[in-house]
Amino acid sequence: MSISAAVAGATGLGAHITTQLLANPSVSSVISLTRRKHEIPEVSPKYNNIVNAETSTWYNEFHTALKNAGTSIAFSGLGSTRAQAGGLENQRKIDVDLNYDLAKAAKETGTVKTYVLISSGGADSKSFAPYMKMKGELEDKLIGLKFERTVILRPGFLMGDRGERSRMGEGLAIGLVNATTMLLGNWLKDKIAAEGPVVARAAIKAGLAQGADWKGDENGVWIVDQSEVIRLGKSE
């Protein structure tokens, strides 16, 4: 089986997804779309990194690249912070609007059958918390596109190097998790947090799952919660 994959937002968490896809022998090609160049440890002939800081052209670029490559599965680790985006409305333009546009571009290729989104634990379109509300609204819009398979990961706090995406409140929580892990071991950490490579591995395993390993519902939607992220991401 030869798989052509794509990643939107291949820096931060998306970088882990991209690197693991490139190392997967079942994956023949990987396209990524980023605002800045994604440096990978080793140059791979099957990697095409499209770099463009002007996101207004991303829809057309993503659609064209995926259609030409016959891409069958796409991942999104795209996201921002309120501070990085310059306010809540600008964050929404990235976390919801741009993410949805790219998913729609993938859907309209006709070749992408599976779409994998890294969302967040607590995502809910009815939430009073702006961040959780945005994540929930994006999930609803993505499900509405009716891919053959839609995988939504809802990890807890993301540990490790996330580049510019870390939020101050999340950073404080991660510090607390690290401190309690030193005292009590990994059981608490696995309940509420996950390392970037673990989330990436879970995303790929769920996205490529076949047969009994596929846990989607009758609509082809699989919500992967924190416990399932840990199970998939830490299993061989």
42 has pLDDT over 80: no
Q: Is 160 exposed, middle or buried (0-12, 13-18, 19+ CB in 10 A)?
A: middle
pLDDT class of 176 with cuts at 50, 70, 90 = low
Query: Could you tell me which residue, 187 or 7, shows the higher pLDDT?
Result: 7
3-state secondary structure of 217: coil
> Residue 206 to residues 72, 143, 166, 230, 231: CA-CA distances in angstroms?
14, 16, 25, 12, 11
Give the pLDDT band of residue 19 (cuts 50, 70, 90): very high
Per-residue pLDDT averaged across 158-171, rounded? 52
- Please give the structure tokens belonging to residue 72: 């069958």
- As a whole-number percent, the residues of the chain with pLDDT over 70 amount to 84
Compute and round to an integer the Cα radius of gyration of the chain. 17
Q: Is the pLDDT of residue 187 over 70?
A: no
Q: What is the mean pLDDT of the chain?
A: 87
pLDDT of residue 215: 96
Q: Which domains does the chain have, with CATH numbers?
A: 3-234 (3.40.50.720)
Which band of pLDDT confidence, cut at 50, 70 and 90, is reported for residue 160? low
Sequence-distant (6+) residues with CB within 8 A of 151 are 114, 115, 116, 117, 203, 206, 207, 216, 221, 222, 224
Active-site annotation holder among 47, 107, 131, 205:
131
| pLDDT tens, position by position, 211-234 | 999 999 999 999 999 999 999 999
Other Cβ atoms less than 10 A from the Cβ of 128: the count is 7
Q: Is the pLDDT of residue 159 over 50?
A: yes
Higher pLDDT, 73 or 9: 73
Residue 141 has pLDDT above 70, yes or no: yes
Q: What is the spatial order of strands in the sheet that 114-118 belongs to?
A: 47-51, 27-34, 3-8, 73-76, 114-118, 149-153, 221-224
135 is catalytic: yes
Active site residue 47: no
Phi-psi region of 87 (alpha: psi -120 to 50; beta: other; left: phi over 0): left
- Using a cut of 0.85, tell me whether the model's pTM lies above it: yes
Residues 6+ apart with CB under 8 A from 221: 143, 150, 151, 152
Q: Which of 135, 205, 215, 234 is catalytic?
A: 135
